[in-house]
A = this chain, B = another copy of it.
């Protein structure tokens, strides 16, 4: 199956990007075809406005989402938690993309992860992110993966130092890939 992956953070070298780099590698090892997409390509667009849509049409980054969704069976995203909720930049992108007809999220499948240097790991942001995706018809895999203390979590080769955690991540991805038949 064909998946696109992204880390919903614009910061260079963010923990979410690091977790996504490793996750993309694991997905490939398990046989998936993976397109890694820089978040700038998906998020750098104006704040949604109906007037702007009427006058200028969709921005380039929304077009990119649309093609990616059409060309892939699903996506895997690491999403940082901002103020116990979804990052505004990701939500703004979803708001734009949700205006296409047919609406391109419908029928896609997603696996969501989060990384945070805190002890919590960002799962409140993940739960807030499920709502718009599921409303738009994405099958969001029930299990999600929250990496706490991300600043101490990675080995030098980019895998997770805690091998129990590494195994859990691999198992969850395997479960997700099992949904594509």
Contact = CB atoms under 8 A, between A and B. Distances in A.
Interface string A135-146: 111111111000
A170 interface: no
Interface in A66-109: 82-95, 98
Contacts of A22: none
A83 to B, nearest CB: 4
Contacts of A83: 91, 94-95, 98, 131-132, 135-136
A134 B128 contact: no
Contacts of A98: 82-83
Nearest to A61: B47
Contacts of A9: 49-50
Interface residues of A, number: 50
A32 interface: no
A148 interface: yes
Given A44-B47, A131-B128, A85 B87 contact: no
7 contacts: A14-B50, A83-B131, A88-B91, A127-B131, A130-B130, A139-B142, A181-B181
B50 A88 contact: no
Given A12-B51, A136-B83, A92 B89 contact: yes
Contact of A11 (B45, B49, B120, B131): B49
A92 B93 CA distance: 11
A147 interface: no
A82 B83 CA distance: 18
A133 to B, nearest CB: 8
B91 A85 contact: yes
Interface in A6-32: 9-12, 14
